[in-house]
């Protein structure tokens, strides 16, 4: 189990890095952690892996030019260089940071392997590792709910909900309810947040 001192150390290290990434990445990470902690209360997984991975999963954005990601339509973001690079660079930087922190090499390898594919749910689910699955669930839960609306406005501009991209994103979110979540706890929460954000209206 990850202790409060260890968690605070990682948190202090990632905050300035995440603030250099996309707008809202730091707040997104904190919400993903909250989702992860909630899932951990209800589903089996390795807490130390899930929490450390969630803090580190998006640090790669700080290392790259992500303008192609911001400009691409929601359905095309998956094909952008930026998306691929943030996973690759995030995995590299996480490996360095965890080495510096003296992390156990086996845990470090597991965390780095998850970060390297965290935005490709199919690859994560193929790992057949409940902790990897939980990272994707906690990350993707932040695409739903009222707080996520604020995140999109910050990242893509104040008129984002007026755009076709928003509608396209909502189609992905509706499909995502059936493809991004495996555990009963995550599925139920995603559905509740989807209702709250008006996805079915
Ligand atoms: Fe990411």
Q: What is the pLDDT of residues 137-177, one digit of tens each?
A: 999 999 999 988 888 898 889 999 999 999 999 999 999 99
- Cβ atoms of residues 33 and 51 within 8 Å: yes
- Measured in angstroms, how far is the CA atom of residue 87 from the centroid of ligand 1? 7
- Cβ atoms of residues 55 and 10 within 8 Å: yes
- Specify the CATH number for the domain of residue 81: 1.10.3210.10
Query: Does residue 137 form part of some domain?
Result: yes
Query: Does residue 160 form part of some domain?
Result: yes
Return the pLDDT at 138: 98
Query: Does residue 201 form part of some domain?
Result: no
Query: Does residue 118 form part of some domain?
Result: yes
Return the pLDDT at 7: 94
Determine the distance from the C-alpha atom of residue 67 to the mean position of all C-alpha atoms in its chain, rounded to a whole number.
Answer: 19
Q: Which among 61, 33, 58 is positioned nearest to 134, based on CA atoms?
A: 33
- Measured in angstroms, how far is the CA atom of residue 65 from the centroid of ligand 1? 14
- Measured in angstroms, how far is the CA atom of residue 42 from the centroid of ligand 1? 24
- Measured in angstroms, how far is the CA atom of residue 132 from the centroid of ligand 1? 13
- Measured in angstroms, how far is the CA atom of residue 119 from the centroid of ligand 1? 6
Query: Does residue 173 form part of some domain?
Result: yes
- Measured in angstroms, how far is the CA atom of residue 82 from the centroid of ligand 1? 10
Indicate the number of domains in the chain: 1
Q: Model-level pTM? A: 0.95
Spans of the chain, pLDDT less than 50: none
- Measured in angstroms, how far is the CA atom of residue 38 from the centroid of ligand 1? 20
Residue-range definition of the domain harbouring residue 112: 4-196
Query: Does residue 25 form part of some domain?
Result: yes
Return the pLDDT at 1: 60
Find tokens 């990470």 and name the residue.
29
Q: How far apart are CA 55 and CA 138, in angstroms?
A: 11
Query: Does residue 22 form part of some domain?
Result: yes
What phi and psi, each to the nearest 5 degrees, are found at residue 80? -80, 150
Query: Does residue 57 form part of some domain?
Result: yes
Encoding tokens for residue 170? Answer: 């909502």
- Measured in angstroms, how far is the CA atom of residue 20 from the centroid of ligand 1? 14
Return the pLDDT at 110: 98
- Measured in angstroms, how far is the CA atom of residue 43 from the centroid of ligand 1? 22
- Measured in angstroms, how far is the CA atom of residue 115 from the centroid of ligand 1? 8
Return the pLDDT at 79: 96
């Amino acid at each position: 189990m990850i202790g409060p001192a260890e968690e605070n150390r990682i948190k202090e290290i990632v905050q300035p890095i995440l603030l250099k990434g996309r707008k809202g990445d730091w707040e997104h990470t904190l919400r993903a952690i909250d989702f992860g902690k909630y899932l951990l209360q209800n589903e089996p997984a390795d807490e130390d892996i899930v929490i450390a991975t969630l803090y580190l999963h998006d640090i790669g954005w700080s290392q790259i030019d992500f303008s192609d990601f911001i400009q691409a339509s929601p359905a095309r973001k998956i094909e952008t260089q930026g998306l691929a690079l943030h996973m690759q660079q995030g995995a590299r930087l996480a490996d360095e940071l965890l080495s510096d922190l003296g992390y156990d090499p086996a845990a470090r390898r597991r965390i780095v392997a998850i970060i390297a594919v965290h935005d490709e749910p199919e690859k994560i689910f193929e790992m057949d590792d409940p902790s990897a699955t939980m990272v994707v669930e906690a990350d993707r839960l932040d695409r739903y709910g009222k707080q996520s609306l604020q995140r999109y406005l910050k990242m893509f501009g104040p008129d984002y909900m007026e755009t076709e991209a928003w509608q396209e994103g909502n189609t992905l979110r509706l499909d995502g309810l059936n493809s991004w979540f495996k555990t009963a706890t995550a599925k139920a929460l995603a559905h509740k947040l989807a209702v709250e954000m008006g996805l079915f209206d």
